[in-house]
Structure formats: C-alpha cells, structure tokens
Amino acid sequence: MVNAKSTIPVGLSTVTAFLTVKDVRKAVAFYKRAFNAQEISVMEIDGRVMHGQIRIGNSAIYMGEECAEMNKLSPESRGFATSSLYLYVDDVDAAFAQAVDAGCNVCMPVSDMFWGDRYGHVTDPFGQEWSIATHKEDLSPAEIEAKFRQMSMACSNK
C-alpha cells in the first residue's frame, strides 16, 4: 500500500549522504562533539549497527558499519576517502576550531576562497573528509571564473 504524501521522507532532501564507518556509535559520539550533530537513530541487529542517522543543521546523514561481504569498506580500511562533505556554518573559524579540538586533522586551514566562501578542510578520525565553510560573498559565475583565473595566475608566477 502506498500512502506517502511525498516521494522524499519528511526531514530529508533529494540527496542524503551515507557514510561507511568501522564503528557507528563512536562516529555518532564524535560528530556530536565536532559538528554539534543530533542523534536521530541507531539500529542494531545481532550486535552490528546496520543503520545510524544524525542531523547536522538542516541536513540528515545516514551511516552504517563496514560489511566486507558487500565490499562496503570505510575510508579507514581503504586508506583513503572517496568523497567529502561540505558543511555550511555561521562561523567557519569557530566551527573549524571545534572540529580540530574534537580530533579532526587539518588538511587545509581556513581562508577566503575565490568562489565567495571562507573555507577550511579537515579529516575526521574515521577517514571522512569535511569541508567547512561560511558563505561570505555572492558572486556571479563570471566573477567566480575571473577570481579563479586571477588566483591561478598568481600561483603559476611563484
């Protein structure tokens, strides 16, 4: 029986990230400290967490534990991340410091970027990459391209 009012569940958006981690409970606890996440649910079967859900700001993030039988491995096991989450916050400098204090490693310190964001990049203890930003300047595509070219020229002149 189909009785849903929408093809997208309430509280979700068209695209929802799903993170594979070694330990969902540890990841949920860490994301609470690092990114002020709210735990929505953690579902366990036979001692294995099959599904977890958190909310950061207005976005839901799903997660599950590794399952080698399905070749579902975390960045920790693979040795690298295959994606990055882009997190917008009101104060990137404070949020970045909070993430680092909680245990994230700095990949790129916070700085002003050519596309209008103040932005920094970290990796969490589970191998997931996070871009953290505050949008500072509304720019047209042409303005972004001009700033990009200006930055590229400055880099090539070094």
> pLDDT tens digits, the chain, 158 residues: what are they?
578 788 888 888 889 999 999 999 999 999 999 999 999 999 998 888 889 999 999 999 999 999 889 999 999 999 999 999 999 999 999 999 999 999 999 999 999 999 999 999 999 999 999 999 999 999 999 999 999 999 877 777 66
CATH of the domain at 119: 3.10.180.10
**Buried/exposed 57-76: b ≥16 CB within 10 Å, e otherwise:** eebbbbbbbbeeeeeeebbb
Tell me the residue length of the chain.
158
Residue 25, domain extent:
17-156
Strand ranges inside the chain, DSSP E: 17-21, 38-45, 48-56, 59-65, 84-88, 105-112, 117-123, 129-135
For residue 11, being part of any structural domain is answered with no
Tokens of 150: 């200006």
Nearest one of 57, 52, 60, 45 to 22, comparing CA atoms: 52
Residue 9 lies in a domain: no
**Number of structural domains the chain divides into:** 1
Residue at 28 is within a domain: yes
Whether residue 1 is contained in a domain is answered as no
Can you say whether the dihedral through the CA atoms of 43, 76, 30, 61 is positive or negative? negative
3-state helix, strand, coil in the chain (%, to 5): 30, 35, 35
Q: Which residue has the tokens 């990459």?
A: 129
Please report whether residue 128 resides in a domain: yes
In a domain, 6, yes or no: no
pTM score of the predicted model:
0.88
For residue 4, being part of any structural domain is answered with: no
Residue 122 maps to a domain: yes
